[in-house]
Structure 1
């Protein structure tokens, strides 16, 4: 069974707990010397990460006297795992020398050669073992850090590659738009200008002039859009061609529809550029849909502040069509309202579009300020 994170213990933490319990094994031999060497060794253990060599020196007397073994093993592990490899040699040598040193010193002459060799062997094993484990832990931490850096570098390279792919695709789209759409719009503008020059009926001349003016405006917006697609930076993507709220009355007047507006809220304060663009595009698409699907229907456009004055409520409502359109000259892609919803959602708002009970249609957007 997997333990919760808050109660999991590492091997080093378990060893520290055992070291704190180790004095229980020498209770029968407790005295002034035991207290003098054991208490500093145990109290210094929490500082083994910040002052590893100092703590190691504090644990050596307890190890030399034979009262405690675990504190200096744990501390040497901390020294090896936290210091560069070339700076571990002299603490390790100091530890081996202290471990080999017999206690009490006058009793050296009473030890046999075998006992001395066994003491040296045990001291070397404990010292080298704890040092090797510490160096292994340090190498493992360095390897993990290097892997993390490599993963971050790979993710950055992938992100840059994706951005370059987007830039190349945007450049391709710009070329295609320039080569196809601008060609047809230019023909429309030129032919409308020629027709206006020879047309004598004022009403027809006005209609032809409207066609020419809209085609020229479309060419200008296409030029700005192509320029944005060719730019790779964020600032370039938010640059030219952005419509403004001040353009809405002209948009309504040029729509060739019976439009009534209530846009007083738009003049009460300044608006973020993203909100201005969203309002303009929503009204533009709604008017386009009325011309396509409900020609001759009256349209009412209103923009009001919500009761909390923290959002703008935009409504474009049209009545039922005055007559059915017999031609199918307007292609319907089905992406207009979807794009408007996405535009509103990017601003943190929402857009709803639904038919009305009178046979008309309502587009309603709520955009936060």
Structure 2
């Protein structure tokens, strides 16, 4: 129990049972008078049975009926009737129990011939007692409803807590996936450019010190790319497939991307206007990843970035011819094409990649014109 629990709910059950039995005994002693030994025994049994009313509510109530018939007592049958109503969900049983209590209390004892005048008062007292019996029944049902409501509220709170946990996990996964995408699309792109430039400087430099410096830069860049590959794989494994969280480059940056790619690349074609921001990001990342792969895996190759559109689709195709010299052994995570395919699927489009007959490579992104 917590601090919000009422003080009466914190009283131990054995103490409550002992008080109930004691009050019932006092009620019996007040009303017992010079009753017969049988009445004394039945009332004693009824009082003692109240200690077990939580475990056997119906049985204990039935034990109080003979005492109600023989002695004019109220507390013991009311306590048993309240417990039965608080624990039973059978409304017909509760109605029958109220009628039994009213009949046991109204019928004169000892049983015998009753005159017409007594029969009328017996009937009046029956209905009066029946109306009185409604109080413990309704009170017991109210306690039961309150307990059910508290349990339901606890279930709702537990479900909300679970929902909050799932939401926080989803946000964390989205952030991890976004970080992985940013690391691959931006950081690795720049590091691979450093590695390529350092390799070219190492080949062209005449001074041994310059060669050694360029070699060191290229070696560190390669090691950095390898570490990035592991980090991207780890973040993607925990992040799942999610959307963007932070602003990304758009089509306005395509000309700069192509012109600063450090390879022979041309940009042709055009796209419809306007294009939604997610589609612009997907197009930009496709061109960026394709040019990075050309620079890493096809040294000396020329690339063509062709923008196109039709009635129901638009997209970009990046094609490069065969490399003219051996490529540097730069590590690759194989996550770039996976990310591009995910972007295309999120937009309802398609992504294709594969070698060309002349030894080059072609990447195509198709996006529906109604993509958000």
- TM-score with structure 1 setting the length: 0.55
**For 1:285-344, what per-residue CA distance to the aligned partner results, in whole angstroms no more than 9, with x for missing partners?**
xxxxxxxxxxxxxxxxxxxxxxxxxxxxxxxxxxxxxxxxxxxxxxxxxxxxxxxxxxxx
Q: What residue in structure 1 maps to residue 298 of structure 2? A: none
Contact 1:80 1:132 in 2 (8 A): yes
Q: CA 1:169–1:17 in 2, change beyond 3 Å: closer, same or farther?
A: farther
**For 1:77-126, what per-residue CA distance to the aligned partner results, in whole angstroms no more than 9, with x for missing partners?**
11111111334333333323322322221263385355324421332123
SS at match of 1:29: coil
Contact 2:46 2:76 in 1 (8 A): yes
Q: CA 1:89–1:112 in 2, change beyond 3 Å: closer, same or farther?
A: closer
Q: What residue in structure 2 maps to residue 260 of structure 1? A: none
Contact 2:32 2:40 in 1 (8 A): no
- TM-score with structure 2 setting the length: 0.54
Cα distance in structure 2, aligned partners of 1:58 and 1:94: 12
Q: What residue in structure 2 maps to residue 239 of structure 1? A: none
Q: What residue in structure 2 maps to residue 59 of structure 1? A: 64
Structure 2: unaligned runs, 5 residues or longer: 1-5, 241-372
**For 1:164-216, what per-residue CA distance to the aligned partner results, in whole angstroms no more than 9, with x for missing partners?**
22222222222222222112211221122222233455565444333222211
Cα distance in structure 1, aligned partners of 2:122 and 2:214: 113
Q: 1:226 aligns with which of 232, 236, 249?
A: 232
Matches within 5 A, 1:125-140: 125-140=131-146
Q: 2:74 aligns with which of 47, 65, 69?
A: 69
Aligned residues: 233
Q: Is residue 70 of structure 2 the alignment partner of residue 39 of structure 1?
A: no
Contact 1:12 1:74 in 2 (8 A): no
Cα distance in structure 2, aligned partners of 1:8 and 1:156: 33
Contact 2:54 2:83 in 1 (8 A): yes
Q: Is residue 101 of structure 2 the alignment partner of residue 95 of structure 1?
A: yes
Q: 1:106 aligns with which of 106, 112, 117?
A: 112
Cα distance in structure 2, aligned partners of 1:103 and 1:180: 97
SS at match of 2:238: coil
Q: CA 1:150–1:56 in 2, change beyond 3 Å: closer, same or farther?
A: same
Structure 1: unaligned runs, 5 residues or longer: 235-369
Contact 2:21 2:47 in 1 (8 A): no
Q: What residue in structure 1 maps to residue 358 of structure 2? A: none
Instruction: Report deviation, 1:155.
Output: 2.2
Instruction: Report deviation, 1:66.
Output: 1.9
Of the two structures, which has the highest relative contact order with CA contacts closer than 8 Å and spacing of 6 or more?
Answer: 2
Q: CA 1:80–1:169 in 2, change beyond 3 Å: closer, same or farther?
A: same
Q: Is residue 174 of structure 2 the alignment partner of residue 171 of structure 1?
A: no
Q: What residue in structure 1 maps to residue 342 of structure 2? A: none
Cα distance in structure 2, aligned partners of 1:125 and 1:144: 29
Contact 2:192 2:225 in 1 (8 A): yes
Q: CA 1:97–1:146 in 2, change beyond 3 Å: closer, same or farther?
A: same
Cα distance in structure 2, aligned partners of 1:11 and 1:133: 21
SS at match of 2:105: helix
Q: Is residue 217 of structure 2 the alignment partner of residue 214 of structure 1?
A: no
Cα distance in structure 1, aligned partners of 2:21 and 2:224: 77
Contact 2:198 2:218 in 1 (8 A): yes
